[in-house]
Amino acid sequence: MATNRSGDGARPADAGRVPAGSPVSGAAPPEAGPDGSDQGPLLRLQGIGKNFGPVQALTGIDLDIPAGQVTALVGDNGAGKSTLIKTIAGIWPPSSGELIWKGRPVHIHSPRDATNLGIAAVYQDLALADNLDIVQNMLLGHEPTRFGLLDEVKMELTAKQTLQDLRVTTVRSIRQPVGSLSGGQRQAVAVAKAVMQDVRLVIMDEPTAALGVTQTEQVLALITRLASTGHAVLLISHNLPDVFQVADRIAVLYLGRLVAVGPAADFDTQSAVEFMTTGGSTRRRDGGRSEPGNTTAIAARPGPSPSSGPEG
C-alpha cells in the first residue's frame, strides 16, 4: 500500500480514487474528469436486497466499489458476503435495489453478463485446467491464431507481459503445467487470466485461505498491484491482518446488513471484530457514529460520513 494513501483515511475516500490508467492523477477531484463515466465509483450498489423465499439474506446494501482501490468485504460466517458477491458476479439477480456500473444502472442476470461488463470473480480451482500450462490457461478461450493455427509465440509474449505487469515473477517457466504450481502461484495465474480479458473489477473470495506465509505475501502483493494498475478489487477475507495490509476501504457485513464502511484507516482490528460479531462498535476512531448493538447501516447511506464523499 502506498504511503501517500495511508493518509487518505481522514479525507473522503474519493480523493484517493485513481482513474484507470492514470496513476498520478489520484489527487485530482473526481469532477475534473472530462469523461462523464469517470464520475463516481466503478460500481455502486444501491439498496441491494436478496431474499431466498422468506429468508432475507441481504438488506439494503449501499456500497461503492471505486477503481484503483481495494475494497475489503468482511463479516462473520453467514453475514451474507458470498450472497453479495454472487449477486455482483451474476450468479443470481438481486431481489431489490440497483447495480450502477460506471454511472449507468445495469442488470446482471448471468455470469456472462458480469464478464461482459468487466467483472470477474476469481476462483482458482474453477478457473484453471491443471493439465494446461500457464500460457494456455491464461489465454484459454481467447487464443490468437496465425494461418488458422494457434500463435503460441504471441500467446506466450502476451501472457509474459501480463505477468510482468502484475510482477508475478516467482514462476520459473510460464510453460509449466498449472498443476505443478503452488497455491499462491495458481491464484496469481487465475488473477492474471482475469486481468487479460480487460476486467475492471476483480472479486477475490478468500484468496489467501490455505496459503503459507510466503504465498500469502505474494497474493497480497498481487492484490495491491491490481489496484495500482487501475482495477477495482473486492476482497472477501476472514483474515483481518491480510485485510488491513492491503485494503483501502473496509465494508463490514453483519446478518445481511452493511454495518460499517469506510477507509481502512478508520478501523482497527478491535473495532472491525466488534462490527463483525455484534454489528456495532464502541471503538471506532472517528468517534462512534454507531451505538453498540446498533445494526443499521451507519455509513453506506449518502450523508456526511467518511466513506460517502460526494455521493450525498
Partner 1 sequence: MARTERGDAPEDQVVPVAPVGEAPEAEQAGEIALASAPDVLAGSLGEYARVWLRRVRNGESGALPVIIGLIIIGAYFQVRSHAFLSAGNIANLMGQAGWIITIAMAQVFVLLLGEIDLSVGYNMAVGATITMWMVSVSHPFPTWAAIVVGLAVSTAIAAIEGMIVAFLKVPSFVVTLAGLLTLSGVLLWLYEQTGSVGLGGVISDHNGFINGLVANNVSPTASWIILIAVVVLAGGFMITRDRRRRVNGLVAPPLSVTLLKIAVMAAIGVVLVIVLNVNRGTLFAQLRGVPWVVPVVLGLLVITTVLLGRTKFGRYVYAIGGNAEAARRAGINLNRIRVAAFALVGLMAGVTGILYASLLGSISNNVNGGQYVLYSVAGAVIGGVSLFGGRGRMLGAVLGGFVVAVIYNGVILLGLGAAGQYIWTGGVLLAAVLLDALARRGTTGATN
**Which residue ranges make up the site for partner 1 (CB under 8 A)?**
1-5, 18, 23-24, 26, 111-112, 115, 126-133, 136-137, 140-143, 145, 148-150, 153, 156-157, 160, 167-173, 175-177, 179-180, 182, 184, 214-215, 217-218, 220-222, 224-225, 227-228, 245-246
Nearer to partner 1, 196 or 261 (CB): 196
Count Cβ neighbours within 10 Å for each residue of 17-30 and write b for 16 or more, e otherwise.
bbbeeeeeebeeeb
CA distances from 77 to 81, 86, 92, 207, 236 (A): 8, 15, 20, 16, 12
Nearer to partner 1, 25 or 282 (CB): 25
Min dist. Cβ of residue 63 to partner 1 (A): 22
Decide whether 59 or 124 has the Cβ nearer to partner 1: 124
Is the Cβ–Cβ distance between 67 and 232 less than 8 Å?
A: yes
Q: State how far the Cα of 105 lies from the Cα of 285, in Å rounded to an integer.
A: 34
Helix axes 213-228, 183-196, angle to 10 degrees: 20
How far CA 67 is from CA of 3, 22, 233, 263, in Å, comes to 18, 11, 8, 14
* Residue whose CB is less far from partner 1, 11 or 283: 11
User: DSSP state, 177?
Assistant: B
CB of 58 to partner 1, least distance (A): 24
* Residue 133 DSSP class: B
Which residue do the cell numbers 481467447 mark? 142
Residue 118 Cβ vs partner 1, minimum distance, rounded to whole Å: 14
Q: 246 or 300: whose CB is closer to partner 1?
A: 246
In the complex, minimum distance from the CB of residue 71 to partner 1, in angstroms, rounded to a whole number:
15
In angstroms, give the least distance from the CB of 108 to partner 1: 15
